Amino acid sequence: MYGRLPIAKMIAATVALTAAISVVMLSINWDGQEASTAAPKIDDLLNVMIVLSAFVFSLVMVMLGYALWKFKAKPGDESDGEPIHGNTRLEVAWTLIPTVIVLFAAGYSWKVLDEIEKPAKDPLTVDVFSQQYAWSFGYPGKGLKYVQGELHVPVNRQIQFKMHSQDVIHSFWVPEWRIKKDNVPGITTTAIVTPDKVGTYQLICTELCGFGHATMRAKVVVQPEAQFLKWAHELKDHIPSALKESIIRDTETNPVESLGAGGA
Ligand SMILES: [Cu+2]
């Protein structure tokens, strides 16, 4: 009908375009500094997805470009196009290729999620309380220690954040850790992170939660374990009873294993 397609040339053009786009896209540091054990795994996953997306984009562009160039109407040609009843080979190809890509992406993502959420032997539990428009934190200790607006954690130890919202949905995000998890009123959600670089970072709310959302931030300090223990030991405040109740209430509707030593 249209003669044979120049398949080899189209494949070559697709590969070349994929490579060109990938080189540019992978040279950009999209996510910034990596400061948790999860970060390199998540960044690798993103890079693989970028290359796969570049491939799909290139394939579509090459085929579209070829069709535009090859089947352009001659000047003065006002006739209708040929009726087409389908093309089995093409339909099999455009079903199979995306299926393989999606299944691969699902499997790879599953593996990464499984690895980064694997519980460690000796995690530290930290309760996170979010409310319009502030963060506060509860630490295991006599009566549960409490601090507002500043999160301290030890380096190279797994932290299990148990998150409780007091009003609307907020979202816990430290960009350098890559981890992001919603805080949902009425249930306890968990985020697992192992920070692996000492430093000061920022906790950012990433769920539009009201008028002051953009200002809903907290300082994050990752420090050597000894310094962290000293800091935690010096905390004077205990968790306010309203927040303690939110732990119990949240935990009843969505049980989680532990509240940390000395929990309510
Ligand atoms: Cu918010």
Confidence of residue 2 (pLDDT cuts 50, 70, 90): low
The model carries a pTM of 0.83
182 class by beta-carbon count within 10 Å (0-12 exposed, 13-18 middle, 19+ buried): middle
Q: Token digits for 231?
A: 């800091």
Distance CA 142, CA 148 (A): 17
Task: Check pLDDT > 60 for residue 259.
Answer: no
Measured CA to CA, the distance from residue 210 to residue 52 in angstroms comes to: 37
Say if residues 93 and 101 touch (Cβ distance below 8 Å). Answer: no
CA of 163 to the centre of ligand 1 (A): 14
Cα–ligand 1 centroid distance for 82 (angstroms)? 56
CA 188 to ligand 1 center in whole angstroms: 17
Query: Taking 90 as the threshold, does the pLDDT of residue 4 lie above it?
Result: no
pLDDT attached to residue 260: 47
State how beta strands 159-165 and 134-139 pair: unpaired
Mean model confidence pLDDT for the chain: 90
How far is the centre of ligand 1, averaged over its atoms, from the C-alpha of 154 (Å)? 26
- How do residues 196-246 score in pLDDT, each as one tens digit? 999 999 999 999 999 999 999 999 999 999 999 999 888 888 888 888 888
* Residue 167 CA to ligand 1 centre (angstroms): 11
Residues 61-85 pLDDT 10s:
999 999 999 888 888 888 888 888 8
How far is Cα 158 from Cα 86, in angstroms, rounded to an integer?
Answer: 55
Question: Which residues lie below 8 Å from residue 133, measured CB to CB, with a gap of 6+?
Answer: 205, 209, 210, 211, 212, 213, 215, 216
What is the CA(169)–ligand 1 centre distance, in A?
Answer: 8
CA distance 110 to 17: 29
Query: Looking at residue 1, what is its pLDDT?
Result: 47
Q: Are 109 and 103 in contact (CB under 8 A)?
A: no
CA of 176 to the centre of ligand 1 (A): 18
Q: What is the chain's length? A: 264
- 208 CA to middle of ligand 1, Å? 5
pLDDT at 263: 39
Cα–ligand 1 centroid distance for 203 (angstroms): 11
**How many A from CA of 106 to the centre of ligand 1?**
29
